[in-house]
Chain A
């Protein structure tokens, strides 16, 4: 079977799917995995921009599906890490240009040569989401600690659970501000987990560096200096590869968030 196909989705837009996909992909590549990212957001492609590969695109996913080029020709290699490729989305078409069957066929072609295939899903629950879900072996749902994002994550998880084939789903909580949680102004990790009750893959703190790095096209994990969010992504990548990186215990109240804050603040291990 070869590679594992992991789809990253959220329901709601703007929670950080694309940024997370890029950072996770780079992290996995630095862990010496052969990784390919597939941008399934046809018509609104972004992953290439965040990864800083926009100017190297010649062909895209729709070209492959419609037979205008070979799959290999559409793959853009990221030269900053050993084995990272991007299969960009088409910008000029819309989601209906590709079918879920196309996505399955495409990823099956890729499985041979890679360890991990990450699919960046578009927001929403319609065609584009169906395309991204069809080939998935696993799904990572991303949410923010805010009520509307959690609602949409809940909806998405429900849809994935309703699929005939059982697809393991795990959760990444993005943009947590420990300071606000402590004041009771933001949902805590516990609050989110109580509602969604699925496996927690990791928590990423809010980090201004994310925005800067996205604009630059340099995923945070490629930066020379260590950043809280970059470290968090690296830990999540480790967990994806099966390494046992302990999560901060969630069964205690109060103190957890303080510890969370402290750990995010320090740079050794998050």
Chain B
């Protein structure tokens, strides 16, 4: 195989890079041949396509998507520097950037932006997440498709939305939504759990009126069809 098509495993599945030069019809059929030759490997795969400068029209992308779907391969996102390709991608309702990065850009959260696929212990599977090492003040919002860990306070007026868990090493006074994509198993933990509003998946609750109780670490989770808080300890 030549190097016009390369494969790489990423957190979101497979990253398929197709060189920006050469005829698209030829390259796309070469990609299909490649998939067919290793169909068991590709079956059920989630693919992100990286196209560089290549300009693709909507129907070209749609054809590719159909061809991939026939092979039980899902097209997740198309990364491209070309405005036309990006527009085509959006018209098909696909992501134009890798999710975990796209939603966190331009929020002034430096630690977040430098979040790349973490080269942790290769034995460890690893999950996506965001570490915020400062207090989230009023008006600040953090979105993540993974977990969110805050080392600092989350003040009233700040908001965290995560598909995974939310852990706050400090006072949690703002609004948080864990398991935002519907995961009822998500939890919210804080050294002092006093959120304005706490949501897990489709459940919503507010903090009970507890004036001046000594703060203690708590974990909120969904149990018996409602959100409950329990002491968070070993």
Contact = CB atoms under 8 A, between A and B. Distances in A.
A42 to B, nearest CB: 24
A154 B108 contact: no
B141 to A, nearest CB: 11
Nearest to A153: B138
A162 B135 CA distance: 12
**Interface residues on chain B, size class:** 10 to 19
B153 A197 contact: yes
B20 interface: no
A155 B139 contact: yes
Contacts of B173: 195
A159 B153 contact: no
For B135, B138, B157, the residue with the greatest tally of chain A CB atoms inside 10 Å of its CB is B138
Contacts of B172: none
B108 A151 contact: no
Interface residues of A, number: 12
B153 A155 contact: no
A156 to B, nearest CB: 9
B119 to A, nearest CB: 29
Interface in B140-165: 140, 153, 155-157
Nearest to B140: A158
A197 B157 contact: no
A167 to B, nearest CB: 14
Given A161-B137, A197-B135, A155 B108 contact: no
Contacts of B137: 154-155, 157-158, 161
Given A195-B155, A197-B153, A155 B135 contact: no
Given A158-B140, A162-B108, A151 B157 contact: yes
A151 B153 contact: no
Contact of B156 (A151, A161, A197): A151
A182 to B, nearest CB: 15
Interface in A182-224: 194-195, 197
A13 to B, nearest CB: 16
For A152, A155, A158, A162, the residue with the greatest tally of chain B CB atoms inside 10 Å of its CB is A158
Nearest to A195: B155
Contacts of B156: 151, 154, 195
Contacts of B134: 161
Interface of A: 151-152, 154-155, 157-159, 161-162, 194-195, 197
Closest 5 CB pairs of A and B: A158-B137, A155-B138, A154-B138, A162-B108, A155-B139
5 contacts: A151-B157, A154-B155, A155-B139, A161-B137, A195-B153
Given A158-B140, A197-B153, 18 more contacts: A151-B157, A152-B138, A154-B137, A154-B138, A154-B155, A154-B156, A155-B138, A155-B157, A157-B137, A158-B138, A159-B139, A161-B134, A194-B171, A195-B153, A195-B155, A195-B156, A195-B173, A197-B135
